[in-house]
Amino acid sequence: SKWGPAEVAKWRSERIKSRSYDMEVVAKLEALDGNQFEVMQYGELSYTYDNEDDVSHPLYAVKSRDWDANKPSVLVTGGIHGYETSGVQGAILFLTEGHSLRYAARGINILVTPCVSPWGYEHIQRWNPDAVDPNRSFRRGNAEACPAQEAANLQRLLASCGVEQWACHVDLHETTDTDETEFRLSKSARDGELSEPGTIPDGFYLCGDAQNPQLPFQKAVINGVRKVTHIAPADPDGTIIGSPVVDEGVILYDYETLGLCGGVTNSRLTTTTEVYPDSPMANDELCNRAQVASVTSALDYLLGIQES
């Protein structure tokens, strides 16, 4: 049977905080140069439970200065699943190393939310404290309907930006061995369902939007990331995580139907990155670099089609 509040509370009580959002994320954002970046708090997560400590985290976004509605606007999101570390640290690296400034100087508005799910970051979890997956909780244009605070807060931030048409959104994720060893099993327990074993792809891949595939864009991102890390081969049946491979390292999901963060804007160019940190060929630095390469490759493509 499906979990009720007691099962969720038991699950939550067994999660262990193993790293600090304040030290590993917030401190790095606060160290950014305020003349070049607008670091803004866009909301606060607040969870209160009987007989448990409250959970409270401020949420931060970083906006390029000289934001101008006439420029193309780009969104980079990380840490929708807090345990997917390189999405968070890759987004921060994109900021701290000057990549975002370089692209902003070429006439782009850039908004980065490096860690949408701080509790998940600290506890190395896919879900929020209510055992809800933030990446199934987006309801484009309707923050009130989001079943996760993490999604609702991000949607309110986007609504406040006044962008009629986003140009590009890159959502940074990972696929980890624990997806198979831990999170798939938790999900089937939570939902009262049987679960079938899956395979974890060895390498980087992209998940595009089935309603808006933009395959030349996906290919450009794959080719940019290829210089940094290896691209996941398809399984023998021609799939990656059970979805048909439509181009090397590219599968498609219906973003909006599934409530994925990738579908949160009306952006023309959208992709969801999937870094594989558990490969013998990978390390933390390489994974962060792959995320940066995916963003810069996406922006190079955007600028290329604007100039052509």
> What number is the average pLDDT over the span 205-229?
98
In the three-class reduction of DSSP (H, G, I as helix; E, B as strand; rest coil), residue 82 is classed as coil
What is the pLDDT at residue 272?
Answer: 99
What is the pLDDT at residue 79?
Answer: 99
Domains and CATH numbers, the chain: 5-307 (3.40.630.10)
Over 90: is that where the pLDDT of 245 sits? yes
Give the whole-angstrom CA distance, residue 127 versus residue 109. 30
**For 56-96, how does the pLDDT look when each residue is reduced to its tens digit (9 = 90+)?**
999 999 999 999 999 999 999 999 999 999 999 999 999 99
What is the pLDDT at residue 112?
Answer: 99
- Confidence at 274, pLDDT banded by 50, 70, 90: very high
Over 90: is that where the pLDDT of 284 sits? yes
Over 90: is that where the pLDDT of 18 sits? yes
Over 80: is that where the pLDDT of 237 sits? yes
- Confidence at 307, pLDDT banded by 50, 70, 90: confident
Cross-strand pairs, 148: none
Q: Alpha helix locations (H) across the chain?
A: 5-13, 21, 27-30, 85-96, 99-104, 118-123, 149-160, 177-178, 184-191, 215-226, 255-258, 284-307
Residue with structure tokens 């990549």?
Answer: 99
pTM: 0.97
Distance in angstroms between the alpha carbons of the first and the last residue of the chain: 56
What is the pLDDT at residue 51?
Answer: 86
- Confidence at 186, pLDDT banded by 50, 70, 90: very high
- Confidence at 283, pLDDT banded by 50, 70, 90: very high
What is the pLDDT at residue 42?
Answer: 98
- Confidence at 105, pLDDT banded by 50, 70, 90: very high
DSSP-derived pairing of the beta strands 168-174 and 73-78: parallel
> What number is the average pLDDT over the span 202-225?
98
Q: Which residues of 37-53 are buried (b: 16+ CB within 10 A; e: fewer)?
A: bebeebbebebeeeeee
In the three-class reduction of DSSP (H, G, I as helix; E, B as strand; rest coil), residue 288 is classed as helix
Over 80: is that where the pLDDT of 188 sits? yes
What is the pLDDT at residue 306?
Answer: 78
Amino acid in the structure at residue 180 = E
Give the whole-angstrom CA distance, residue 80 versus residue 10. 23
Over 80: is that where the pLDDT of 199 sits? yes
**For 141-183, how does the pLDDT look when each residue is reduced to its tens digit (9 = 90+)?**
999 999 999 999 999 999 999 999 999 999 999 999 999 999 9
Task: Provide the percentage of residues in the chain whose pLDDT is more than 70.
Answer: 100
Report the chain's mean pLDDT, rounded to a whole number: 96
> What number is the average pLDDT over the span 29-54?
94
Residue among 53, 88, 80 nearest 150 (CA): 80
What is the pLDDT at residue 267?
Answer: 98
What is the pLDDT at residue 265?
Answer: 98
Whether 122 and 25 have beta carbons less than 8 Å apart is answered as no
Whether 208 and 251 have beta carbons less than 8 Å apart is answered as yes
